[in-house]
Amino acid sequence: MPGKTALRLTKRSVEALAAEGRDSVFWDSDLPGFGVRVYRTGRRVYCVQTRGPAGPKRVTLGQHGEMTADAARRQAATVIDRIKRGEPPFPVAPEAEPAITDLAGRFLRAHVEVNCSANTKTASA
């Protein structure tokens, strides 16, 4: 990670950070890989940078103000662990189970259109 800083990221320390001329990333001293990116506009975004089996990865966690430094640190620890294990940084939401109407439509497309005669197709539609 570029430019190690001896800074514990807290609400007060993050608000005191400023970018000098270009965007800057300040890293936390307690949790390696957890940092905050400060843009020239003053916007602050929590991020994680770590190396997993697929190589280095940088992930944005959320914006300062919408997320506290402590909440971002907890989420960063989870994301770092997931990346190091080779999993996606955030869990993928399971797909919704299909409804009966979805299954009926799928049956009409997959079976009736392929296997039935023209008269059956018009009767079922």
Which of the four pLDDT bands, split at 50, 70 and 90, describes residue 35? very high
Q: Can you read off the two tokens belonging to residue 73?
A: 């640190």
Within a domain: 103: yes
Within a domain: 125: yes
Looking at the fold, whether 16 and 69 belong to one and the same domain comes out as yes
Looking at the fold, whether 62 and 111 belong to one and the same domain comes out as no
Task: Look up the CATH number of the domain holding residue 36.
Answer: 3.30.160.390
Residue 114 in contact with residue 124, Cβ under 8 Å?
no
d(CA 53, CA 72): 23
> What are the pLDDT digits (tens) for 87-106?
989 888 888 888 888 888 88
Nearest to 3 by CA among 64, 40, 49: 49
Residue of higher predicted confidence among 82 and 123: 82
The 3-state DSSP class for residue 88 equals coil
Q: How large is the average pLDDT for residues 4-33?
A: 88
Within a domain: 2: no
The 3-state DSSP class for residue 29 equals coil
Give the count of domains, the chain. 2
Domain that holds residue 47: 11-84
> How many C-beta neighbours within 10 Å does residue 31 have?
17
Looking at the fold, whether 57 and 115 belong to one and the same domain comes out as no
CB-neighbour burial class of residue 60 (10 A; exposed 0-12, middle 13-18, buried 19+): exposed
DSSP assignment letter at 21: S
**Whole-structure pTM value:** 0.71
